[in-house]
Amino acid sequence: MKVVLLSYTKDAEVLCATAARTCYSKGVPSEIKEKIAPERAGKLIEDVVSIGHHSVIEHAYYTFSIEGVSRAMTHQLVRHRMASFSQQSQRYVSMLDPEYVVPDSISKDEESKKIFVDAMDNAWEAYQRLAEKVPVEDARYVLPNACETNIVVTMNARELMHFFSLRCCNRAQTEIREVADEMLRLVKEVSPSIFKDAGAPCVRGPCTEGKMTCGKPRRKGADAGSIQKQHPSKS
């Protein structure tokens, strides 16, 4: 798996701070923007976002290339309706070479790995035989969820915050969590103020997973015990 930040709003923090200031100012946005010092923009954004004025960070966009991931992962990713996607097509791209993702839980156990690899071999043998007789768009029906794919995704900062809340959580599936963690690392480098509190809900406060909590808060210094106490039924 590889995640690359292909493009992003270069002056995201000043832009979003301009949007925020516009709401509370008689001035025009083009002049407000000129007056906002980049080192002041972060604090402005933190202040408005902390009071729930989240629409101001919708002006910042981030585009990622997500490479060598499974279709099982992208199937979860594309459920995020506020994002834009462009995914490698199995109609137009031949899948004749077996390329698939093996989850760690399977690759570290020899018996599981053998079951998995046998299933992949069978699926690809069927695909190759079918592709000689029918269009690849139909032959692909036998390909597995593990099939490797590439996808470009664009999200604005507000949608990314929401995405990180759901997918950086330990309850999210491993592959999409690893992708989300890497996306978060990349956007924090370029827009640190916007994404200061981004991540699973337990980065900001108590776990929101109720009885399903993992009991392992990601917040530095957080007390896993206090989260457990909120959900006494969790063993």
Q: Least distance in Å: CB of 169 to ligand FAD?
A: 7
User: Based on CB atoms, which residue is closest to ligand FAD, 44 or 200?
Assistant: 200
CB of 49 vs ligand FAD, minimal distance in Å: 16
The identity of residue 90, as a single letter, is: Q
Query: What residue ranges bind ligand FAD (CB under 6 A)?
Result: 79-82, 159, 162, 166, 171-172
Q: Are 9 and 59 in contact (CB under 8 A)?
A: yes
Q: Closest approach of Cβ 22 to ligand FAD, in Å? A: 24
The answer to whether 214 and 171 have CB atoms below 8 angstroms apart is: yes
Question: Least Å distance between CB 166 and ligand FAD?
Answer: 4
Task: List phi, psi (to 5°) of 83.
Answer: -100, 165
- Distance CA(61)–CA(159), nearest Å, equals 10
174 and 108 Cβ atoms separated by less than 8 Å: no
Q: Which is nearer to ligand FAD, 11 or 218 (CB)?
A: 218
Q: Is 129 assigned a catalytic role?
A: no
Catalytic: which of 167, 177, 204, 219?
Answer: 167
**Nearest distance in Å: CB 18, ligand FAD:** 24
CA 1 vs CA 103, 142, 156, 179: distances in Å: 11, 23, 22, 8
Q: How far is CA 61 from CA 13, 49, 87, 93, 208, in A?
A: 11, 17, 19, 29, 27
Closer residue to ligand FAD in complex, CB, 59/80: 80
| Token pair of 209 as six digits | 């997973």
**How many other C-beta atoms lie within 10 A of the C-beta of residue 235?**
5
Say whether 86 sits in a helix, a strand or coil.
strand
The answer to whether residues 61 and 10 touch, using CB atoms and an 8 Å cutoff, is no
C-beta closer to ligand FAD: residue 45 or 155: 155
Residue with token string 């839980």: 105
* Residue (82 or 93) nearer to ligand FAD, CB: 82
Catalytic residues: 167
